[in-house]
Structure 1
Amino acid sequence: MFTTGRARVLRWAAAIGIALSSTLLTAGVADAAPMVTLGGGSGVYVEQLDGTNSAAECTLTAVGYDRENRLVALTAGHCGEVGARIAAEYTRSGGIGVIANKDDYFDWAVIALDPDRVLPTRQVGPSVINGIGAGPRVGDIACKNGRTTGYTCGPVWETNETFFRSQVCANHGDSGGPVLLGDRLIGMVVAGQEFELGPVTIDMQPCKGAGDLLHTPEIATTISSVLADIDASGGVGAGFRPF
Protein backbone atom coordinates (compact mmCIF):
# COMPACT_ATOMS: atom_id res chain seq x y z
CA MET A 1 0.00 0.00 0.00
CA PHE A 2 2.77 2.41 0.90
CA THR A 3 5.15 3.20 -1.92
CA THR A 4 7.22 5.57 0.19
CA GLY A 5 8.66 5.19 3.65
CA ARG A 6 9.42 1.85 5.22
CA ALA A 7 7.28 -0.84 6.75
CA ARG A 8 7.89 -1.23 10.44
CA VAL A 9 10.42 -3.96 11.09
CA LEU A 10 9.42 -6.08 14.06
CA ARG A 11 11.72 -7.04 16.88
CA TRP A 12 12.00 -10.76 17.35
CA ALA A 13 11.52 -12.74 20.55
CA ALA A 14 15.10 -13.99 20.41
CA ALA A 15 16.30 -10.40 20.87
CA ILE A 16 14.77 -10.34 24.33
CA GLY A 17 15.56 -13.92 25.23
CA ILE A 18 12.16 -15.50 24.56
CA ALA A 19 12.23 -18.78 22.66
CA LEU A 20 9.07 -20.29 21.28
CA SER A 21 7.77 -23.41 22.96
CA SER A 22 4.52 -25.26 23.35
CA THR A 23 4.14 -23.68 26.79
CA LEU A 24 4.36 -20.12 25.42
CA LEU A 25 1.89 -20.35 22.58
CA THR A 26 -0.51 -22.91 24.04
CA ALA A 27 -2.29 -23.16 27.36
CA GLY A 28 0.07 -24.83 29.79
CA VAL A 29 2.58 -24.32 32.56
CA ALA A 30 3.60 -20.90 31.22
CA ASP A 31 0.16 -19.55 32.12
CA ALA A 32 0.16 -17.43 35.27
CA ALA A 33 -3.66 -17.17 35.35
CA PRO A 34 -6.61 -18.76 33.54
CA MET A 35 -7.85 -15.43 32.15
CA VAL A 36 -5.98 -12.57 30.47
CA THR A 37 -7.27 -9.00 30.17
CA LEU A 38 -6.55 -7.47 26.73
CA GLY A 39 -7.48 -4.27 24.92
CA GLY A 40 -6.18 -1.68 22.49
CA GLY A 41 -2.55 -1.04 23.44
CA SER A 42 -1.86 -4.50 24.90
CA GLY A 43 1.34 -6.21 23.78
CA VAL A 44 1.24 -9.68 22.24
CA TYR A 45 3.64 -12.27 20.87
CA VAL A 46 2.77 -13.50 17.38
CA GLU A 47 4.09 -16.87 16.19
CA GLN A 48 6.13 -16.68 12.98
CA LEU A 49 5.29 -19.47 10.54
CA ASP A 50 8.53 -19.26 8.55
CA GLY A 51 10.30 -22.05 10.39
CA THR A 52 12.53 -19.71 12.42
CA ASN A 53 11.00 -20.75 15.76
CA SER A 54 10.50 -17.11 16.65
CA ALA A 55 7.76 -14.68 17.60
CA ALA A 56 7.12 -11.04 16.74
CA GLU A 57 6.19 -8.42 19.29
CA CYS A 58 3.14 -6.39 18.25
CA THR A 59 0.35 -4.31 19.76
CA LEU A 60 -3.41 -4.85 19.65
CA THR A 61 -5.47 -2.07 18.07
CA ALA A 62 -8.70 -2.96 19.85
CA VAL A 63 -10.66 -5.91 21.18
CA GLY A 64 -14.34 -6.39 20.39
CA TYR A 65 -16.90 -8.55 18.64
CA ASP A 66 -17.71 -9.22 14.99
CA ARG A 67 -21.16 -9.66 13.47
CA GLU A 68 -21.17 -13.32 14.51
CA ASN A 69 -20.46 -12.20 18.11
CA ARG A 70 -17.02 -13.81 18.03
CA LEU A 71 -14.48 -12.23 20.37
CA VAL A 72 -11.74 -10.79 18.14
CA ALA A 73 -8.82 -8.36 18.20
CA LEU A 74 -7.22 -6.25 15.48
CA THR A 75 -3.51 -5.70 14.83
CA ALA A 76 -1.19 -4.94 11.90
CA GLY A 77 -1.17 -7.47 9.07
CA HIS A 78 2.62 -7.69 8.85
CA CYS A 79 2.76 -9.06 12.41
CA GLY A 80 2.00 -12.61 11.26
CA GLU A 81 0.22 -14.98 8.91
CA VAL A 82 -3.17 -16.67 9.12
CA GLY A 83 -2.84 -19.58 11.53
CA ALA A 84 -0.22 -17.91 13.73
CA ARG A 85 -0.83 -18.43 17.44
CA ILE A 86 -0.94 -15.55 19.90
CA ALA A 87 0.36 -15.17 23.46
CA ALA A 88 -0.21 -12.27 25.85
CA GLU A 89 3.03 -10.42 26.55
CA TYR A 90 2.55 -9.27 30.12
CA THR A 91 1.64 -12.73 31.44
CA ARG A 92 3.26 -14.85 28.71
CA SER A 93 -0.08 -16.67 28.56
CA GLY A 94 -0.56 -18.82 25.48
CA GLY A 95 -3.61 -20.51 24.05
CA ILE A 96 -5.50 -17.22 23.80
CA GLY A 97 -6.04 -16.89 20.06
CA VAL A 98 -4.93 -17.28 16.46
CA ILE A 99 -4.80 -15.02 13.39
CA ALA A 100 -7.93 -15.92 11.43
CA ASN A 101 -8.06 -13.24 8.70
CA LYS A 102 -5.65 -10.66 7.24
CA ASP A 103 -4.90 -8.38 4.31
CA ASP A 104 -1.43 -7.36 3.17
CA TYR A 105 -2.48 -4.31 1.15
CA PHE A 106 -4.29 -2.52 3.98
CA ASP A 107 -1.99 -4.21 6.50
CA TRP A 108 -4.56 -5.52 9.00
CA ALA A 109 -5.00 -8.81 10.79
CA VAL A 110 -7.93 -10.19 12.80
CA ILE A 111 -7.18 -12.43 15.77
CA ALA A 112 -9.88 -14.87 16.85
CA LEU A 113 -9.66 -14.87 20.65
CA ASP A 114 -10.70 -17.63 23.02
CA PRO A 115 -13.55 -16.15 25.11
CA ASP A 116 -12.75 -18.62 27.88
CA ARG A 117 -9.24 -17.19 28.16
CA VAL A 118 -9.60 -13.47 27.37
CA LEU A 119 -11.40 -10.66 29.19
CA PRO A 120 -11.82 -7.63 26.88
CA THR A 121 -11.19 -4.13 28.21
CA ARG A 122 -11.64 -0.62 26.87
CA GLN A 123 -8.74 0.79 28.87
CA VAL A 124 -5.04 -0.08 28.71
CA GLY A 125 -2.90 2.33 30.72
CA PRO A 126 -4.04 5.91 30.06
CA SER A 127 -5.85 5.15 26.78
CA VAL A 128 -9.59 4.39 26.64
CA ILE A 129 -11.54 3.30 23.55
CA ASN A 130 -15.21 4.21 23.80
CA GLY A 131 -16.03 4.09 20.11
CA ILE A 132 -14.92 4.64 16.51
CA GLY A 133 -14.11 8.15 15.29
CA ALA A 134 -13.70 9.84 11.92
CA GLY A 135 -10.23 10.36 10.48
CA PRO A 136 -8.22 13.30 11.82
CA ARG A 137 -7.64 16.73 10.32
CA VAL A 138 -4.25 18.32 9.78
CA GLY A 139 -3.22 19.97 13.03
CA ASP A 140 -5.15 17.61 15.30
CA ILE A 141 -3.19 16.18 18.22
CA ALA A 142 -3.48 12.41 18.01
CA CYS A 143 -2.31 9.92 20.62
CA LYS A 144 -1.27 6.29 20.35
CA ASN A 145 -0.67 3.45 22.79
CA GLY A 146 2.02 0.86 22.02
CA ARG A 147 3.79 -1.92 23.88
CA THR A 148 7.23 -0.40 23.17
CA THR A 149 6.92 3.37 23.59
CA GLY A 150 3.69 3.54 25.58
CA TYR A 151 1.17 6.37 25.38
CA THR A 152 2.41 9.32 23.32
CA CYS A 153 0.85 12.18 21.36
CA GLY A 154 1.79 14.39 18.41
CA PRO A 155 0.40 16.59 15.62
CA VAL A 156 -1.13 15.21 12.43
CA TRP A 157 0.79 16.38 9.31
CA GLU A 158 -1.09 14.78 6.41
CA THR A 159 -4.41 12.99 5.91
CA ASN A 160 -6.47 11.20 3.29
CA GLU A 161 -9.23 8.60 3.31
CA THR A 162 -6.98 5.61 3.95
CA PHE A 163 -4.05 6.83 6.04
CA PHE A 164 -2.58 9.77 7.91
CA ARG A 165 0.92 10.84 8.88
CA SER A 166 1.64 12.22 12.32
CA GLN A 167 4.36 12.81 14.88
CA VAL A 168 3.04 10.32 17.42
CA CYS A 169 5.99 8.41 18.82
CA ALA A 170 6.29 4.76 17.75
CA ASN A 171 8.99 2.15 17.33
CA HIS A 172 9.46 -1.55 16.64
CA GLY A 173 6.75 -3.54 18.37
CA ASP A 174 4.19 -0.70 18.35
CA SER A 175 2.78 -2.00 15.05
CA GLY A 176 -0.97 -2.34 15.34
CA GLY A 177 -1.17 0.18 18.17
CA PRO A 178 -4.38 2.24 18.40
CA VAL A 179 -4.31 5.91 17.39
CA LEU A 180 -6.89 8.02 19.21
CA LEU A 181 -8.55 11.40 19.32
CA GLY A 182 -9.75 11.55 22.89
CA ASP A 183 -11.54 8.26 23.56
CA ARG A 184 -12.28 7.58 19.87
CA LEU A 185 -10.29 5.06 17.86
CA ILE A 186 -9.25 6.68 14.56
CA GLY A 187 -6.32 4.63 13.26
CA MET A 188 -3.78 1.81 13.49
CA VAL A 189 0.02 2.28 13.56
CA VAL A 190 1.59 0.43 10.63
CA ALA A 191 4.83 2.10 9.47
CA GLY A 192 7.47 4.77 9.83
CA GLN A 193 8.33 7.23 7.07
CA GLU A 194 11.24 9.52 6.30
CA PHE A 195 10.65 13.21 7.03
CA GLU A 196 10.12 15.23 3.85
CA LEU A 197 10.84 18.95 3.69
CA GLY A 198 10.09 20.09 0.14
CA PRO A 199 12.53 18.29 -2.18
CA VAL A 200 14.69 17.17 0.77
CA THR A 201 14.15 13.79 2.45
CA ILE A 202 15.62 13.36 5.93
CA ASP A 203 16.02 9.84 7.29
CA MET A 204 15.35 10.33 11.00
CA GLN A 205 15.68 7.79 13.80
CA PRO A 206 12.67 5.94 15.21
CA CYS A 207 11.23 7.42 18.39
CA LYS A 208 12.81 6.25 21.66
CA GLY A 209 9.86 7.15 23.86
CA ALA A 210 7.94 10.01 25.43
CA GLY A 211 9.93 13.25 25.34
CA ASP A 212 11.79 12.35 22.12
CA LEU A 213 10.70 15.23 19.87
CA LEU A 214 12.92 14.61 16.82
CA HIS A 215 11.98 11.26 15.33
CA THR A 216 10.55 9.54 12.26
CA PRO A 217 6.93 10.48 11.48
CA GLU A 218 4.49 7.59 11.74
CA ILE A 219 1.97 6.28 9.24
CA ALA A 220 -1.38 5.01 10.49
CA THR A 221 -4.22 3.54 8.48
CA THR A 222 -7.59 5.13 9.21
CA ILE A 223 -9.72 2.71 11.20
CA SER A 224 -12.70 3.43 8.93
CA SER A 225 -10.80 2.14 5.89
CA VAL A 226 -9.54 -0.89 7.83
CA LEU A 227 -13.01 -1.82 9.04
CA ALA A 228 -14.50 -1.31 5.56
CA ASP A 229 -11.89 -3.67 4.11
CA ILE A 230 -12.51 -6.27 6.81
CA ASP A 231 -16.24 -6.04 6.07
CA ALA A 232 -15.55 -6.50 2.36
CA SER A 233 -13.57 -9.65 3.12
CA GLY A 234 -16.65 -11.18 4.70
CA GLY A 235 -14.49 -13.27 7.03
CA VAL A 236 -13.76 -13.34 10.74
CA GLY A 237 -13.88 -9.78 12.07
CA ALA A 238 -16.47 -8.45 9.62
CA GLY A 239 -18.87 -6.15 11.42
CA PHE A 240 -16.28 -5.37 14.10
CA ARG A 241 -17.40 -3.26 17.02
CA PRO A 242 -15.16 -2.38 19.97
CA PHE A 243 -15.96 -3.87 23.35
Structure 2
Amino acid sequence: MHWAAVAATAVSATLLFGAPADAAAPVVLGGGSGVYVEDLTSSDSVSDCTLTAVGYDNKNQLVGLTAGHCGEVGARVAAEYTRSGGIGVIANKSADMDWAIIVFNPDRVTPTRTVAQSVINSVGAPPQIGENVCKNGRTTGFTCGPVWETKALTFRSQVCANHGDSGAPVLRGDQLVGMVVAGTDFKLGPIDVELPLCEGGGNLIHEPELATNISAVLADIDRNGGAGAGFHVA
Protein backbone atom coordinates (compact mmCIF):
# COMPACT_ATOMS: atom_id res chain seq x y z
CA MET A 1 0.00 0.00 0.00
CA HIS A 2 1.26 3.46 -0.86
CA TRP A 3 -1.05 6.08 0.57
CA ALA A 4 -3.14 4.61 3.33
CA ALA A 5 -1.77 7.58 5.28
CA VAL A 6 -4.03 10.57 4.65
CA ALA A 7 -3.03 13.93 3.23
CA ALA A 8 -2.45 16.70 5.76
CA THR A 9 -3.27 20.39 5.51
CA ALA A 10 -1.56 23.06 7.60
CA VAL A 11 -4.37 24.91 9.32
CA SER A 12 -5.06 26.14 12.82
CA ALA A 13 -7.30 23.65 14.58
CA THR A 14 -8.29 26.42 16.99
CA LEU A 15 -9.74 28.49 14.15
CA LEU A 16 -11.21 25.56 12.24
CA PHE A 17 -12.86 23.83 15.18
CA GLY A 18 -13.85 26.87 17.20
CA ALA A 19 -17.48 27.19 18.21
CA PRO A 20 -19.61 27.94 15.12
CA ALA A 21 -21.78 31.02 14.97
CA ASP A 22 -25.35 30.30 16.03
CA ALA A 23 -26.63 31.60 12.71
CA ALA A 24 -24.18 29.56 10.59
CA ALA A 25 -26.00 27.83 7.74
CA PRO A 26 -25.96 24.01 7.68
CA VAL A 27 -23.48 22.43 5.28
CA VAL A 28 -24.64 19.94 2.65
CA LEU A 29 -22.59 16.73 2.79
CA GLY A 30 -22.75 13.34 1.11
CA GLY A 31 -20.59 10.60 -0.39
CA GLY A 32 -17.72 12.35 -2.16
CA SER A 33 -17.65 15.46 0.05
CA GLY A 34 -14.28 16.50 1.45
CA VAL A 35 -13.77 16.84 5.20
CA TYR A 36 -11.03 17.96 7.55
CA VAL A 37 -10.39 15.67 10.52
CA GLU A 38 -8.70 16.98 13.65
CA ASP A 39 -5.22 15.62 14.37
CA LEU A 40 -5.33 14.90 18.10
CA THR A 41 -1.52 15.02 18.29
CA SER A 42 -1.08 18.44 16.65
CA SER A 43 -2.92 21.77 16.66
CA ASP A 44 -1.24 22.92 13.45
CA SER A 45 -2.58 20.43 10.91
CA VAL A 46 -5.62 18.41 9.99
CA SER A 47 -6.18 15.33 7.84
CA ASP A 48 -7.94 15.60 4.48
CA CYS A 49 -10.40 12.80 3.75
CA THR A 50 -13.55 12.01 1.79
CA LEU A 51 -16.94 10.91 3.06
CA THR A 52 -18.18 7.54 1.78
CA ALA A 53 -21.84 8.29 2.48
CA VAL A 54 -24.08 10.09 4.94
CA GLY A 55 -27.10 8.42 6.53
CA TYR A 56 -28.74 7.32 9.75
CA ASP A 57 -27.97 4.51 12.16
CA ASN A 58 -30.35 2.38 14.21
CA LYS A 59 -30.49 5.11 16.90
CA ASN A 60 -31.54 7.62 14.24
CA GLN A 61 -28.27 9.51 14.61
CA LEU A 62 -27.08 11.39 11.53
CA VAL A 63 -23.76 9.73 10.71
CA GLY A 64 -21.07 9.74 8.06
CA LEU A 65 -18.79 6.92 6.99
CA THR A 66 -15.12 7.37 6.04
CA ALA A 67 -11.80 5.51 6.23
CA GLY A 68 -10.60 4.52 9.70
CA HIS A 69 -7.08 5.88 9.16
CA CYS A 70 -8.53 9.38 8.72
CA GLY A 71 -8.60 10.02 12.47
CA GLU A 72 -9.08 8.77 15.99
CA VAL A 73 -12.21 8.50 18.11
CA GLY A 74 -12.89 11.93 19.60
CA ALA A 75 -11.45 13.85 16.64
CA ARG A 76 -13.64 16.72 15.47
CA VAL A 77 -14.64 17.09 11.83
CA ALA A 78 -15.11 20.14 9.61
CA ALA A 79 -16.50 20.55 6.10
CA GLU A 80 -13.65 21.23 3.70
CA TYR A 81 -15.04 23.72 1.20
CA THR A 82 -16.84 25.93 3.72
CA ARG A 83 -14.32 25.31 6.52
CA SER A 84 -17.33 24.85 8.78
CA GLY A 85 -16.35 23.42 12.16
CA GLY A 86 -18.64 22.18 14.89
CA ILE A 87 -20.36 19.72 12.58
CA GLY A 88 -19.39 16.35 14.02
CA VAL A 89 -16.92 14.04 15.73
CA ILE A 90 -15.53 10.55 15.10
CA ALA A 91 -17.43 8.31 17.50
CA ASN A 92 -16.52 4.78 16.38
CA LYS A 93 -13.83 3.13 14.25
CA SER A 94 -12.05 -0.08 13.32
CA ALA A 95 -8.35 -0.14 12.49
CA ASP A 96 -8.61 -3.70 11.14
CA MET A 97 -11.38 -3.00 8.62
CA ASP A 98 -10.32 0.65 8.22
CA TRP A 99 -13.67 2.40 8.77
CA ALA A 100 -14.71 5.30 10.93
CA ILE A 101 -18.13 6.65 11.89
CA ILE A 102 -18.68 10.39 12.29
CA VAL A 103 -21.71 11.45 14.31
CA PHE A 104 -22.92 14.74 12.85
CA ASN A 105 -24.79 17.57 14.49
CA PRO A 106 -28.13 17.42 12.60
CA ASP A 107 -28.56 21.17 13.07
CA ARG A 108 -25.29 21.79 11.24
CA VAL A 109 -25.38 19.17 8.45
CA THR A 110 -27.90 18.54 5.67
CA PRO A 111 -27.39 15.08 4.10
CA THR A 112 -27.45 14.56 0.35
CA ARG A 113 -27.22 11.55 -1.93
CA THR A 114 -25.78 13.61 -4.80
CA VAL A 115 -22.29 15.13 -4.88
CA ALA A 116 -21.07 16.36 -8.28
CA GLN A 117 -21.57 13.47 -10.73
CA SER A 118 -22.12 10.77 -8.11
CA VAL A 119 -25.50 9.65 -6.80
CA ILE A 120 -25.91 7.07 -4.01
CA ASN A 121 -29.38 5.55 -3.85
CA SER A 122 -28.61 2.13 -2.37
CA VAL A 123 -25.93 -0.28 -1.18
CA GLY A 124 -24.93 -2.94 -3.71
CA ALA A 125 -23.20 -6.31 -3.74
CA PRO A 126 -19.42 -6.40 -4.28
CA PRO A 127 -18.33 -5.79 -7.88
CA GLN A 128 -17.09 -8.53 -10.17
CA ILE A 129 -13.90 -8.67 -12.23
CA GLY A 130 -14.36 -6.73 -15.46
CA GLU A 131 -17.11 -4.47 -14.16
CA ASN A 132 -16.65 -0.72 -14.52
CA VAL A 133 -16.86 1.24 -11.27
CA CYS A 134 -16.50 4.93 -10.43
CA LYS A 135 -15.30 6.83 -7.39
CA ASN A 136 -15.81 10.39 -6.18
CA GLY A 137 -12.94 11.83 -4.13
CA ARG A 138 -12.10 15.29 -2.82
CA THR A 139 -8.64 15.16 -4.47
CA THR A 140 -9.10 13.60 -7.91
CA GLY A 141 -12.84 14.01 -8.37
CA PHE A 142 -15.14 11.63 -10.24
CA THR A 143 -13.22 8.94 -12.13
CA CYS A 144 -13.99 5.44 -13.42
CA GLY A 145 -12.12 2.26 -14.25
CA PRO A 146 -12.40 -1.54 -14.45
CA VAL A 147 -12.21 -3.96 -11.53
CA TRP A 148 -9.41 -6.47 -12.01
CA GLU A 149 -9.09 -8.26 -8.66
CA THR A 150 -11.69 -9.27 -6.08
CA LYS A 151 -11.32 -10.83 -2.63
CA ALA A 152 -13.69 -11.56 0.25
CA LEU A 153 -13.25 -8.14 1.87
CA THR A 154 -11.59 -5.98 -0.79
CA PHE A 155 -11.24 -5.31 -4.51
CA ARG A 156 -8.77 -3.48 -6.70
CA SER A 157 -9.68 -1.35 -9.66
CA GLN A 158 -8.18 1.21 -11.99
CA VAL A 159 -10.21 4.18 -10.78
CA CYS A 160 -7.96 7.16 -10.19
CA ALA A 161 -7.30 8.05 -6.53
CA ASN A 162 -4.67 9.82 -4.46
CA HIS A 163 -3.97 11.27 -1.01
CA GLY A 164 -7.16 12.75 0.47
CA ASP A 165 -9.41 10.38 -1.49
CA SER A 166 -9.35 7.96 1.46
CA GLY A 167 -12.96 7.11 2.28
CA ALA A 168 -14.24 7.97 -1.20
CA PRO A 169 -17.30 6.03 -2.33
CA VAL A 170 -16.85 3.46 -5.10
CA LEU A 171 -20.02 3.14 -7.17
CA ARG A 172 -21.68 0.83 -9.64
CA GLY A 173 -24.16 3.22 -11.19
CA ASP A 174 -26.05 4.63 -8.20
CA GLN A 175 -25.13 1.70 -5.93
CA LEU A 176 -22.46 2.14 -3.25
CA VAL A 177 -20.20 -0.93 -3.48
CA GLY A 178 -16.90 0.09 -1.88
CA MET A 179 -14.73 2.56 0.02
CA VAL A 180 -11.31 3.73 -1.19
CA VAL A 181 -8.62 2.94 1.40
CA ALA A 182 -5.21 2.86 -0.35
CA GLY A 183 -3.12 2.84 -3.48
CA THR A 184 -1.16 -0.30 -4.41
CA ASP A 185 1.50 -1.58 -6.76
CA PHE A 186 0.42 -3.31 -9.95
CA LYS A 187 1.04 -7.04 -9.68
CA LEU A 188 2.40 -8.84 -12.74
CA GLY A 189 2.46 -12.43 -11.54
CA PRO A 190 4.99 -12.56 -8.69
CA ILE A 191 6.41 -9.12 -9.60
CA ASP A 192 5.21 -5.83 -8.09
CA VAL A 193 5.35 -3.02 -10.63
CA GLU A 194 5.44 0.46 -9.09
CA LEU A 195 3.35 2.92 -11.08
CA PRO A 196 2.93 6.68 -10.55
CA LEU A 197 0.17 8.14 -8.41
CA CYS A 198 -2.88 9.30 -10.31
CA GLU A 199 -3.17 13.08 -10.57
CA GLY A 200 -6.75 13.16 -11.88
CA GLY A 201 -9.02 12.23 -14.75
CA GLY A 202 -7.08 11.71 -17.97
CA ASN A 203 -4.16 9.87 -16.37
CA LEU A 204 -4.14 6.57 -18.25
CA ILE A 205 -1.22 4.91 -16.47
CA HIS A 206 -1.32 4.99 -12.69
CA GLU A 207 -1.28 2.67 -9.70
CA PRO A 208 -4.46 0.71 -8.89
CA GLU A 209 -6.56 1.59 -5.87
CA LEU A 210 -7.66 -0.75 -3.12
CA ALA A 211 -11.22 -0.53 -1.82
CA THR A 212 -13.07 -2.40 0.90
CA ASN A 213 -16.39 -4.04 0.01
CA ILE A 214 -19.03 -1.81 1.56
CA SER A 215 -21.18 -4.82 2.43
CA ALA A 216 -18.31 -6.21 4.52
CA VAL A 217 -17.71 -2.80 6.12
CA LEU A 218 -21.36 -2.37 7.12
CA ALA A 219 -21.51 -5.93 8.48
CA ASP A 220 -18.43 -5.21 10.59
CA ILE A 221 -19.96 -1.98 11.88
CA ASP A 222 -23.09 -3.91 12.88
CA ARG A 223 -21.01 -6.54 14.69
CA ASN A 224 -19.04 -3.83 16.47
CA GLY A 225 -22.20 -2.09 17.65
CA GLY A 226 -22.29 1.51 18.76
CA ALA A 227 -22.50 4.54 16.50
CA GLY A 228 -23.19 3.63 12.88
CA ALA A 229 -24.77 0.22 13.48
CA GLY A 230 -27.74 -0.27 11.21
CA PHE A 231 -26.46 2.35 8.74
CA HIS A 232 -28.72 3.28 5.85
CA VAL A 233 -28.27 6.04 3.29
CA ALA A 234 -30.13 9.27 4.12
State the TM-score, normalizing by the size of structure 2: 0.97
What is the distance in 2 between the residues matched to 1:228 and 1:50? 31
CA distance in 1, matches of 2:136, 2:23: 24
Match for residue 16 of structure 2 among 13, 18, 24: 24
Is the CA contact (8 Å cut-off) linking 1:46 and 1:84 kept in structure 2? Answer: yes
Secondary structure class of the residue paired with 2:13: coil
Q: Deviations over 1:158-195 (max 9, x none)?
A: 11221000000000000000000000000000011101
Cα deviation, 1:26-71, whole Å, max 9, x if unaligned, reads 3336x99421000000000000112353200000000000001000
SS of the aligned residue for 1:13 comes to strand
Match of 1:66 among 42, 57, 60: 57
1:7 offset after TM fit, Å? Answer: 4.5
Kindly report which structure 2 residues correspond to 1:18-57, keeping only aligned pairs within 5 A, or say none.
18-21=11-14, 23-28=15-20, 33-51=24-42, 53-57=44-48
Report matched runs for 1:168-187 at 5 Å. 168-187=159-178
Report the aligned-residue RMSD.
Answer: 1.4
Between 61-70 and 155-164, the greater mean CA deviation after superposition: 155-164
Q: Which of 60, 81, 84 is equivalent to 1:93?
A: 84
Alignment match of 2:97 (pick from 106, 113, 120): 106
The alpha carbon displacement at 1:156 in A equals: 0.1
The equivalent position to 2:202 in structure 1, one of 205, 211, 233, is: 211
Distance 2:80 2:49 in 1: 9
Q: Partner residue of 1:10?
A: 6
Asked if structure 2 preserves the Cα contact closer than 8 Å seen for 1:27 and 1:93, the reply is no
1:138 pairs with 2:134: no
Q: Which amino acid is 2:118 matched to?
A: S
1:82 is matched by which residue type in structure 2? V
The aligned amino acid for 1:183 is D
Structure 1 runs (4+) deviating above 4 angstroms are none
Give 3-state SS (helix, strand or coil) of 1:40's partner: coil
Identity of aligned residues (%): 63
| Contact 1:81–1:102, Cα closer than 8 Å, also in 2 | yes
| 1:195 corresponding residue in structure 2 | 186
TM-score normalised by the chain length of structure 1: 0.93
Say whether residues 1:222 and 2:227 are aligned partners.
no
1:47 and 1:20 map into 2 onto residues whose CA distance is 7
Structure 2: unaligned runs, 5 residues or longer: none
Once the two structures are superposed, residues 84-136 of structure 1 have per-residue CA deviations (whole angstroms, 9 ceiling, x without a partner) of 00000010000000000000000000000000000000000000000000000
- Are 1:76 and 2:72 matched, yes or no? no
Cα distance in 2 between the residues matched to 1:160 and 1:8: 18
TM-aligned CA distance change 1:189 to 1:32, over 3 Å: farther
Counterpart of 1:229 in 2: which secondary structure? helix
- The aligned length equals 234
Deviation of the 1:74 alpha carbon: 0.2
Partner amino acid, structure 1, of 2:193: I
CA distance in 2, matches of 1:133, 1:218: 19
C-alpha distance after superposition, 1:181-232 (max 9, x if no partner)? 0000000000111011112211111100001011010000000000000000
